[in-house]
């Protein structure tokens, strides 16, 4: 049976992609953020996933307001990045895995999640940047991807409680997938930030700390807030914490924090990178 | 009778709900089209015609003409899509933040840096 070995949680600010393209990892502005990936790179040397299951939000690349799924599960052979409107260099394609995708889809619907399935899905910076941060400068990826999209664009948004339940159902799917395989989870976006309105530039380190402190051992603590509570606490784009909450659910029980980095600001964002691991992770000798 | 769905407001914070999505469909559709380079070029070549093609409302057209982000949001624009339009104008999210808060870009950036004190 497949096992979850860990979870990588990170901000996905588009400007990080620009910094990668320009090689600014050691630049004084960027270094405090990129350094958060050093322990993750070390951990990934010993922990090589067969599958990666991600939770992120589309930013108007794959989905428009004509059709806006609350939860969308990719079931494609390949996932391509594409121009998001800024003409930036494209990130490399990521191989898919229709067998695990459809197993997750079957399990989610059996668990009464009415999801949207996508046999074609473009991936945007919310996914390409975290993968590039974790495995920099590779010619190709040697894991297979199942992306799960969560609507953070158009209200009403799913509640933190529902996001956690979705993640837990994905965990159930992974545990019942009939392959001896290692699975790594990603939750991307956040933490607190707001791009729009007179409150643009808002951040909330106290709420961010509350989230990071509770996610490993007590993720249900985050479900006491509604989606609108989170918008008020964390900013209108801070609601991307929903991706982290779902990802945490997908890790199952027995999760511990292995590394944490929190830095203000990256662009308009309180940026964070957290590695959590399970009993199935290998530890360096 | 009090509406059971009375809207919650959060100061200075747009909540892009069904009403906004309905109101802003045209401007957001135009911005979504900017994922393609040829559409960005078509906008730059003839802004008036490009806005007309997407049937922007007069309020949306004025907001775009004025490069006024808060007015675009008031007309139903969503920042995830408006960011693509801002890119055409060479504006990043600090420029957008400065404009919406009435600060200079330098002051807005300093405000972001100053929040590190809260860690």
Which one of B40, B78, B119 has the shortest CB-CB distance to A262? Answer: B119
Give chain A's contact residues with B (Cβ, < 8 Å): 15, 59-61, 64-65, 82-87, 153-156, 194-203, 205-206, 228, 231-232, 235-237, 262-265, 267-268, 270
Residues of chain B contacting A60 with CB distance shorter than 8 Å: 31-32, 35, 80-81, 84
Which one of A64, A200, A262 has the shortest CB-CB distance to B96? Answer: A200
Higher pLDDT, B64 or A285: B64
Average pLDDT (A40-53) is 97
Q: Assess whether A125 carries a catalytic annotation.
A: yes
Q: What is the pLDDT of residues A190-249, one digit of tens each?
A: 999 999 999 999 999 999 999 999 999 999 999 999 999 999 999 999 999 999 999 999
Residue B1 has pLDDT above 90, yes or no: no
| ipTM for this prediction | 0.95
A–B CB contacts, 8 A cutoff, strictly below: 135
Which one of A228, A236, A270 has the shortest CB-CB distance to B14? Answer: A236
Confidence of residue B119 (pLDDT cuts 50, 70, 90): confident
The 3-state DSSP class for residue B13 equals: strand
Residue B104 CB-half CA count within 13 A: 3
Average pLDDT (B14-29) is 98
| Domains, chain B, ordered by start | 18-88 (1.10.700.10), 91-119 (no CATH)
pLDDT of residue B4: 56
Q: What is the pLDDT of residues B63-94, one digit of tens each?
A: 999 999 999 999 999 999 999 999 999 999 99
Average pLDDT (B88-105) is 96
Q: How close A180 gets to chain B, by Cα (Å)?
A: 40
Residue A285 has pLDDT above 70, yes or no: no
Q: What is the pLDDT of residues A91-131, one digit of tens each?
A: 999 999 999 999 999 999 999 999 999 999 999 999 999 99
Per the CB < 8 Å rule, is A231 touching B10? Answer: yes
The domain made up of A10-273 has a fold known as Protocatechuate 4,5-dioxygenase; Chain B (3.40.830)
Q: What is the pLDDT of residues A137-195, one digit of tens each?
A: 999 999 999 999 999 999 999 999 999 999 999 999 999 999 999 999 999 999 999 99
Residues of chain B contacting A195 with CB distance shorter than 8 Å: 79, 83, 93, 96-97
pLDDT of residue A5: 98
> pLDDT averaged over chain A?
97
Q: Where are the domains of chain A?
A: 10-273
Per the CB < 8 Å rule, is A195 touching B93? Answer: yes
Q: Assess whether A193 carries a catalytic annotation.
A: yes
Per the CB < 8 Å rule, is B79 touching A195? Answer: yes
């Amino acid at each position: 049976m497949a096992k979850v070995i860990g979870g990588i949680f990170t901000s996905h600010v588009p400007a990080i992609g620009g910094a990668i393209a320009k090689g600014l990892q050691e630049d004084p502005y960027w270094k405090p953020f990129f350094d958060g990936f050093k322990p993750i790179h070390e951990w990934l040397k010993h922990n090589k996933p067969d599958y990666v299951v991600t939770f992120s939000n589309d930013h108007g690349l794959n989905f428009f307001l004509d059709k806006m799924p609350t939860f969308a599960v990719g079931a494609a052979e390949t996932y391509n990045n594409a121009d998001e409107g800024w003409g930036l260099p494209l990130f490399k394609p990521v191989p898919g895995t229709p067998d695990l995708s459809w197993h997750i889809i079957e399990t989610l619907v059996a668990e009464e999640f009415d999801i949207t399935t996508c046999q074609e899905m473009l991936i945007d910076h919310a996914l390409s940047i975290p993968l590039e941060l974790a495995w920099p400068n590779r010619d190709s990826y040697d894991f297979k991807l199942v992306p799960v999209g969560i609507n953070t664009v158009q209200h009403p948004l799913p509640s933190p409680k529902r996001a956690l339940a979705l993640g837990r159902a994905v965990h159930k799917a992974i545990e019942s997938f009939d392959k001896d395989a290692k699975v790594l989870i990603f939750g991307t976006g956040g933490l607190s930030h707001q791009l729009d309105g007179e409150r643009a530039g808002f951040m909330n380190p106290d709420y961010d700390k509350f989230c990071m402190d509770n996610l490993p051992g007590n993720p249900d603590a985050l479900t006491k807030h509604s989606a609108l509570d989170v918008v008020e606490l964390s900013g209108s784009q801070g609601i991307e914490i929903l991706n982290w909450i779902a990802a945490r659910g997908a890790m199952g029980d027995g999760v511990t924090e292995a590394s944490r980095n929190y830095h203000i600001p990256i662009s308009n964002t309180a940026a964070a990178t957290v590695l959590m691991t399970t009993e199935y992770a290998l530890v360096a000798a | 009778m009090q509406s059971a769905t009375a809207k919650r407001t959060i100061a200075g914070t747009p909540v892009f709900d069904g009403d906004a999505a309905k109101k802003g469909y045209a401007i957001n559709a135009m911005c979504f089209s900017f994922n393609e380079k040829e559409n960005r070029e078509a906008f730059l070549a003839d802004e008036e015609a490009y806005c007309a093609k997407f049937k922007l409302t007069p309020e949306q057209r004025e907001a775009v003409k004025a490069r006024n982000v808060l007015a675009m949001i008031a007309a139903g624009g969503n920042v995830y899509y408006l960011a693509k339009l801002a890119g055409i104008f060479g504006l990043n999210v600090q420029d957008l933040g400065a404009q919406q808060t009435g600060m200079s870009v330098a002051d807005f950036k300093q405000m972001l840096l100053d929040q590190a004190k809260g860690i």
